[in-house]
Structure 1
Amino acid sequence: MADSVNQKTIAKPSEPARRAVVTGASSGIGAETARTLAADGWGVVALARREDKLKALADSIKAKGGSCEYVVCDITDEGSTNDAVKTIVAEGPVKALVNCAGAAFGKDPVATANLDDWRGMYELNVLGTLRIIQKLLPTLKESEGTVLIVSSTAGIEPYEGGSGYCASKFAERVMARVLRLEQIGEPIRVIDVSPGLVQTEEFSLKRFGGDHSKADSVYEGVPDPLHANDIAESIRWAVDLPDTVDIDSIVIRPRAEGSYTKLYRKK
């Protein structure tokens, strides 16, 4: 994969960079989105819980001429999110909020699903997204900014074993749609990006509690699954459009995936 940072033009130091807050930036889609936006001249503020990962990300972006700061933040915690937003807003206006933080826990049927798995997915995918949006919405309006939510095709079509994750992603997509309706006439854009099968280093591994065999089986035989940079590029394109253009929804899948239950695998 080509180095996207080297393919973009970094904003000149004399030009104030548009600032984008990216949640879930310690890995996967969030980390790649931070790299892609920084390469496109954005000033990135990376949010996640793991400081070591955030520091490594910020250092790598800065080493290539990009702008990236980080704030340790757990969006499932009110105090942590309050402190993070105060720090961010004190440093200047925010032009975009890109909500990448999210996870799936377990793949059990409804009859035996673990309540703590459901609770964890709702706290992170739904309430965490709501919390950070509410706190940054005023400054985003001031800058005629964008709220972008990375949901999932799991929020479009349910599948067996995915009830908890699908429910949380349905809720996230509905949140984006309702916010869009409620903010008509306000200087704010609301965008939903719904990825299908994306192969990242942690998503399936976390879902299956660290079981590498189960995690690997998700992508086994699938030619050219999506990768984090594919989603990051769609995010970059959407937020780079004029402020008056709202991309309500992007559904992005690999060519091999027609739906969750229609997936081509090589024998």
Structure 2
Amino acid sequence: MVETVLVTGASAGFGWAICQELVKAGYRVIGAARRLEKLQDLKEELGDSFYPLALDLTSTENVNQGLASLPNEWQEIDSLINNAGLALGLDKAQEANFGDWETMMMTNMVGLAYLTHALLPKIVERQGYVINMGSIAGTYPYPGGNIYGATKAFVKQFSLNLRADLVGTGVRVTNLEPGLAGGTEFSLVRFKGDQDKAEQLYQGANSIQPKDIARTILWLLEQPAHLNINRLEIMPTSQSFGPLPVHREP
């Protein structure tokens, strides 16, 4: 039987590439995002194995309506790829906009948790898979990462706690944690449309690309059913670790 996978954040970047890779590999894919027109473009490319679903994770009511709107033949969802998420700003905590914090928390934590909760009964029934898109920011703090990093730490711990609850069901859960990743709208969103600032971040960095993440997702899905990859941290070879800074009084 062909498996059905729901991918959030499907209108660009990682999500777009994940949908392409999974359809090519023979999966049926529901691509969910707020921008339906972008999803329709992807539908034209991928054909009948792809279903575009308008979904706003910041609204539980919209999530309910979106899931209820799925045609009968798309209702039985085997696996969920919680890819949608965002960072806003890179300001110090004391200078940050709380509205940005709230948006990140609602999308990266509440929206992810709500959609997962809504689909878990189906996924348990079908012994499926939940793959959450975390980040190295959930492990390694950096200046300006404040709430974004905290939301990704939540995703990491939520993933592990799901594993604790789901033991014996056959459901697998993975937290995928990319490092510096280009080829997406992530930094353009973070810097609120400042294209130059976003591009400077990736110049000469040989960063992770959406295709890399898509292939990793496919690899995870195609591992034997008795294996669970709890966490998978990925960095480009150009990225590493630095010394811990110490502020010294003059």
TM-score, normalised to structure 2, is 0.93
| Cα contact 1:150–1:194 (8 A) shared by 2 | yes
Cα separation, 1, equivalents of 2:43 and 2:158: 30
1:202 paired to 2:185? yes
How far is the alpha carbon of 1:86 from its aligned partner? 2.2
| Cα contact 2:184–2:210 (8 A) shared by 1 | no
Q: Tell me: CA distance 1:254–1:81, structure 2 relative to 1, closer, same or farther (3 Å).
A: same
Alignment-derived partner of residue 220 in structure 2: 238
Cα separation, 2, equivalents of 1:168 and 1:197: 17
72-81 or 84-93: which moved more? 84-93
Stretches of structure 1 lacking an aligned partner (at least 5 in a row): 1-15, 263-267
Q: Secondary structure at the match of 2:240?
A: strand
Q: Secondary structure at the match of 2:141?
A: coil
Moved over 3 A (4+): 87-90, 259-262
Q: Tell me: CA distance 1:190–1:251, structure 2 relative to 1, closer, same or farther (3 Å).
A: same
1:112 paired to 2:112? no
Cα separation, 2, equivalents of 1:255 and 1:181: 33
TM-score, normalised to structure 1, is 0.87
Alpha carbon RMSD of aligned pairs, Å? 1.6
Alignment-derived partner of residue 236 in structure 2: 254
Q: How do 1:103-182 residues align onto structure 2 when only pairs under 5 Å count?
A: 103-182=86-165
Q: Secondary structure at the match of 2:202?
A: coil
How far is the alpha carbon of 1:260 from its aligned partner? 7.5
How far is the alpha carbon of 1:261 from its aligned partner? 7.6
Q: How many residues align?
A: 243
Cα separation, 1, equivalents of 2:213 and 2:128: 20
How far is the alpha carbon of 1:165 from its aligned partner? 0.8
Cα separation, 1, equivalents of 2:116 and 2:106: 14
Q: Which residue, out of 61, 69, 72, partners 1:87?
A: 69
1:19 paired to 2:1? no
| Cα contact 1:99–1:150 (8 A) shared by 2 | yes
Alignment-derived partner of residue 39 in structure 1: 24
| Cα contact 1:46–1:69 (8 A) shared by 2 | yes
Alignment-derived partner of residue 4 in structure 1: none
Q: Tell me: CA distance 1:162–1:206, structure 2 relative to 1, closer, same or farther (3 Å).
A: same
Alignment-derived partner of residue 73 in structure 1: 55
* Cα deviation 1:203-257 (Å, max 9, x = unaligned): 10110010112111211231x2110010111111001112221111111111111
Percent of residue pairs identical: 33
49-58 or 178-187: which moved more? 178-187
1:53 paired to 2:46? no
Amino acid across the alignment from 2:52: Y
Q: Secondary structure at the match of 1:251?
A: strand
Cα separation, 1, equivalents of 2:129 and 2:70: 16
Stretches of structure 2 lacking an aligned partner (at least 5 in a row): 245-250
How far is the alpha carbon of 1:90 from its aligned partner? 3.3
| Cα contact 1:25–1:54 (8 A) shared by 2 | yes
| Cα contact 2:14–2:184 (8 A) shared by 1 | no
1:29 paired to 2:14? yes
* Cα deviation 1:3-57 (Å, max 9, x = unaligned): xxxxxxxxxxxxx421000000000001100100111100000000001100001
Cα separation, 2, equivalents of 1:95 and 1:241: 15
Cα separation, 2, equivalents of 1:256 and 1:128: 32
Cα separation, 2, equivalents of 1:162 and 1:217: 18
Cα separation, 2, equivalents of 1:260 and 1:26: 34
Q: Secondary structure at the match of 2:57?
A: coil
Amino acid across the alignment from 2:9: G
